[in-house]
Amino acid sequence: MAVGLPDEGARVRHLPASDMASFVPGVGALRGRFAGPVGALRGYSDRDHYVMGETMVSVRHWTGTESKALRSAFRLSQADFAAKLGAHKRTVRYWEAGRAIRPVYQAALDTTLSKAPDEVVAAFRDWLRPTEENDVDRRQLLKVGALGAGGLATLGVADAERARWLMSGAGRPDAAAVAVIRNTLYSAMQLDDMLGSPAAQGLVIAQQQLVEAMLRDCPPALRPDVLSLHAEWTGFAGCLAWDEGEYATAARLYNLARETAHEAEDADLGAYMLCHLSQLALWQRQPRVAVDYAVAARAWVAQSIDRPLRAYVAIRAAEAAAMAGQRAACLTALDEADQDIAGLEPCHPSQSRAYFVGGALFESYRGNCLTILREAAPAAEATRRALTLIPLQYTRDRAMSLLELERSLIQLDEIAEAAAVVGDAADLTAQNRSPRLAKAIRDGRRELSPWAGSRAVRELDDRLAARDIVAV
């Protein structure tokens, strides 16, 4: 594993604990793959575990039947299907033998279905529904509103008529509607933080469609706000794609969000999207491209009054410079971030695009940058400070910081402790189903390959084997 892999999606969306009450219930109601606009769904038949239509399949509760049907639709062996889900082969075998599927895998299957190609979705439907039942099923019609307006009500649009109006694009949105959808965005970010990207997938699909409908008939005075909202949802969708390892999709969405932000003349949001693009370039092993994006972001925020955002842009510039081998530029950017971040703690998203910035994030990134620069001792100290500051509920953040600590410990030749912290990170995957986190843990184990025969690494292998989402 190359050092310096950033994890902004894991560390940048911290809402204060007081905002936990704003969680949106009923996310499961929007699980599934939408092959076309929600309004195009013509009907679906009810089953015990899934809802099926001509352009959509939504699984309410996955069992071995649905899991096997999806595996067959992909034409994958049990081993290959398990690898796709980040599970162990025996886990898939147990499902198909009738064992219950745990919630973390329910979410993984939801996401896999939501991203499946059209031909796979069609095959999945065929596996679940014999051909002779097709005509009968099509007559089992329910109103689209059961999924559309009713589903939007669970997302925070409580008035069914208002939800239906927003879905259709009829009428004109107002500032209150924009505020409701933006608050839903904050809830989706919180779900991603706590549970991983699969938990937020359904929210994003529905809300992007909703904001697009709002744009179709938007008063001129409100259009910049709606454009910014559309850019925010698009950028967040890019974060989820990045978490899934779909870098090309993430880049497309980030660039679309950046262009939309500029159309809205929202310089801060444009700079924030450039930060996403800089980070993505690092994951694609393009540090000099990452520097380009960071430089552009710094130009846009030079006159910004948003201190947390200025600090975050400097942090992104520091990491890009470190990966590009620009030591002096990295340390200078860290000093600038340190000055901007003085006295700051995470705030509500309405106060800053970079509301997540605080001491924990800065120490985490400083540790990562110093590890890249081969300053292992101060790097380990910084990462340990970050771990004392990250709230316990942010399991992905803590896990990624533990993996950063592993790299500095390896440089210090503290192999036993390095193996132990990888195991601690793996234990946290029970709470957060981020595909990126699972991959980072596998990469962390590979970093320890030279010491595979040591007692510490053998014990780590035992811990990893107990976590089905991690394949050593």
Question: Rounded CA gap, 206 and 222, in Å?
Answer: 21
Q: What is the pLDDT of residue 408?
A: 96
Phi, psi of 361 (to 5 degrees): -65, -40
Same domain, 464 and 390: yes
Domain final position from 357, 392, 416: 357
Same domain, 333 and 412: no
Give the chain's largest Cα–Cα span. Answer: 70
Distances (CA, A) of 438 to 151, 154, 242, 472: 31, 30, 13, 11
pTM: 0.64
Phi, psi of 197 (to 5 degrees): -60, -35
Same domain, 415 and 429: yes
Q: What is the DSSP string of 176-205?
A: HHHHHHHHHHHHHHHHHHHH-GGGGHHHHH
Question: Rounded CA gap, 320 and 281, in Å?
Answer: 9
Any domain includes 446: yes
Question: What does the pLDDT profile of the chain (472 residues) look like in tens digits?
Answer: 333 333 433 333 333 333 322 222 222 222 222 222 222 222 333 344 445 444 456 787 888 888 988 998 898 988 889 888 888 887 888 788 777 888 778 888 888 888 888 888 888 888 876 543 433 333 332 222 223 444 444 334 444 444 454 455 444 677 888 888 888 888 888 877 777 777 777 778 778 778 888 888 788 888 999 999 999 999 999 998 888 888 999 999 999 999 999 999 999 999 999 999 999 999 999 999 999 999 999 999 998 999 999 999 999 999 999 999 999 999 999 999 999 998 888 888 888 889 889 999 999 999 999 999 999 999 999 999 999 998 888 888 899 999 999 999 999 999 999 999 999 999 887 776 678 888 889 999 999 999 999 999 999 999 888 876 544 4
CB-based contact 426:393 (threshold 8 Å): no
Same domain, 100 and 54: yes
Distances (CA, A) of 135 to 122, 128, 140, 288: 16, 15, 9, 57
| CATH number where 118 lies | 1.10.260
- Residue-number span of the structural domain to which 322 is assigned: 266-357
Any domain includes 412: yes
- CA 194 from chain center: how many Å? 10
* Collapsed DSSP state (helix, strand, coil) of residue 451: helix
**Which tokens belong to 89?**
């082969």
Q: What is the pLDDT of residue 172?
A: 62
CB-based contact 356:306 (threshold 8 Å): no
Q: Which residue, 304, 305, 302, is CA-closest to 294?
A: 302
Any domain includes 232: no
Q: What is the DSSP string of 381-403?
A: HHHHHHHHHS-TT-HHHHHHHHH
| CATH number where 472 lies | 1.25.40
Contacts of 122 (CB under 8 A, 6+ apart): none
Same domain, 277 and 297: yes
Same domain, 375 and 351: no
Same domain, 319 and 377: no
Q: Which residues of 141-152 are buried (b: 16+ CB within 10 A; e: fewer)?
A: eeebeebbbbbb
Domain final position from 119, 141, 163: 141
Q: Which amino acid does the sequence have at 20?
A: M
Residue corresponding to tokens 């996310």: 27
- Count CB atoms within 10 A of the CB of residue 132: 7
Any domain includes 172: no
Contacts of 160 (CB under 8 A, 6+ apart): 145, 149, 150, 153
Start-to-end Cα distance in the chain: 14
Same domain, 472 and 366: yes
Q: Which residue, 219, 212, 232, is CA-closest to 168?
A: 212
CB-based contact 124:57 (threshold 8 Å): yes
Q: Which residue, 323, 335, 311, is CA-closest to 286?
A: 323
Same domain, 369 and 462: yes
- CA 459 from chain center: how many Å? 30
Domain final position from 357, 385, 410: 357
DSSP state of 228: H
Any domain includes 294: yes
Question: Rounded CA gap, 242 and 219, in Å?
Answer: 33
CB-based contact 171:4 (threshold 8 Å): no
Any domain includes 30: no
Any domain includes 179: no
Handedness of CA 37, 39, 40, 45 (dihedral sign): positive
Q: What is the pLDDT of residue 446?
A: 93
Residue corresponding to tokens 């605080």: 358
Q: How many domains does the chain have?
A: 3
Q: Which residue, 111, 125, 2, is CA-closest to 56?
A: 125
Question: Rounded CA gap, 4 and 281, in Å?
Answer: 12
Any domain includes 2: no
CB-based contact 240:204 (threshold 8 Å): yes
Q: What is the pLDDT of residue 21?
A: 29
Same domain, 409 and 430: yes
Same domain, 321 and 400: no
Q: Which residue, 116, 127, 144, is CA-closest to 41?
A: 144
CB-based contact 398:421 (threshold 8 Å): no
Contacts of 181 (CB under 8 A, 6+ apart): 156, 157, 207, 210, 211, 214, 229
The count of residues in the chain is: 472
- Count CB atoms within 10 A of the CB of residue 299: 13
Same domain, 392 and 337: no
CB-based contact 227:260 (threshold 8 Å): yes
